[in-house]
A and B are shown apart, each in its own frame.
Chain A
Amino acid sequence: MRIELEINGRPYAGDVEPRTLLSDFIRHEAGLTGTHVGCEHGVCGACTIQIDGETVRSCLMLAAQADGRSLLTVEGLADGDALHPLQQAFHEHHALQCGFCTPGFLLAAEALLRERPDPTEREVREALAGNLCRCTGYEGIVAAVLEVARARPGEPA
């Protein structure tokens, strides 16, 4: 079946089987390999993307279900060469080592900060509890998210 969707503001189309997972469509048909596949049963969060601004596990959606929808993946966070403040903060706080979990964390954190612009540390940890990291121990990730939450545009972070 043919599906058409928008990813990071650009149109994509492809032929899929009903059983094609959205994560595999994004990676293999759209060629956007920033979205990672870790567990394929919704536990690790590495495949997290956004649909209409809401986080979704792309490994738990059929590509067919995303027909006509508007997606955001990690490739859509930066503005040209300018990193998103979250990406910059992750870099500065050593919030990534192997980087496998990072795209999922970025999209989850981005959604969190829009819904909860001023979260407590506990709220950050609870909101990101669905994203697993095997490398960093999470401290740098939480620090990066809190820094961006507390930053104000135009002020040095």
Chain B
Amino acid sequence: MGEAAVLKPAPFQYVAPRSLDEALGALGEDAKPLAGGQSLVPLLNFRLARPATIVDLNGLGELSYLRRTGGTLRIGALTRQAALERSAVVERGWPLLTRAVSYVAHPAIRNRGTVGGSVAHADPAAELPVALTALDARFHVRSAARGDRTLQAAELFQAPLMTALEPDELLVEIEVPAPPDGARAAFAEHARTHGDFALAGAAVVRAGTEHAAIALLGAAPTPVRAPDAERALCHGATAAEAARIAGAQLDGDYRRALTTELVRRAIEEAS
């Protein structure tokens, strides 16, 4: 019982801080944060990640919240994806997030996985980074040495599985402004089975010709907006026309066709 034979991850030190400051002090090049664990623990189990220290953030209750203040949504980084899914506040004001999170993996994953973890992990097939990109979210980051800084999506997401977060930094809050009055939203993706990693997807927020935001999943190494397509919509283009413009940035016939169709569906649903 309990011999080394049944231990899958490589050995590591385990730290469970009780405060954000304590957690920030513990982070470093070889000391990785553990949030929901739904992305990190598989890497540990395969021994693809072998940090010397794991800093368990799950004791930091102060980082788990969904708060609507002055019309803005503030999401604590440690908020469970299931909470985002259940929230009436989010569904009323930011339905794109409610739709997007329902595509994230499966209920058991969402019970542990966190919104901040999904963002910091930056899987190119992840839904929440794309939805937050469409919503012009701002990402608040903190380190013990340098204090706070705020990043836009384009600054935060750098490459597949890579963000601008330094090893000693934690994402602490995601701030999502209120969409314009009357805005409608839609999220479309294609995966082989429900809950699978998506091959392509689109998040759309639209308020007539006043506002259009289109963010693409799987079209680039990171979530990207489609500014030409957004401008076209605001100048009265049809869903099909705007979708074609958005899809033009993709290489490969299949992905281009798939993305174009998903964008078209999302625009129509949000109109």
Contact = CB atoms under 8 A, between A and B. Distances in A.
A–B contact (CB under 8 angstroms): yes
Contact of A129 (B13, B45, B54, B195): B195
A73 interface: no
Interface string B36-50: 011001101110000
A125 B118 CA distance: 24
A101 to B, nearest CB: 14
A48 interface: yes
A19 B105 contact: no
A130 B111 CA distance: 13
Interface residues of B, number: 34
Contacts of A81: none
Interface string B6-25: 11111111101000000000
Given A28-B1, A54-B111, A130-B107, A42 B6 contact: no
A88 B41 CA distance: 34
Interface string A51-84: 0001111011110110000000000000000000
Contact of A59 (B1, B10, B45, B111): B45
Interface in B82-131: 82, 105-109, 111-112
A32 interface: no
Contact of A18 (B6, B13, B112): B13
Nearest to A131: B106
B268 interface: no
B269 interface: no
B241 interface: no
A64 B14 contact: yes
Contacts of B54: 18, 62
Given A1-B14, A64-B14, 19 more contacts: A16-B2, A17-B7, A18-B14, A19-B10, A19-B12, A21-B41, A29-B1, A40-B8, A59-B41, A60-B41, A60-B112, A61-B112, A62-B14, A64-B16, A65-B58, A126-B195, A129-B193, A130-B107, A130-B195
Interface of A: 1, 14-21, 24, 28-29, 40-42, 45, 48, 54-57, 59-62, 64-65, 108, 111-112, 125-127, 129-130
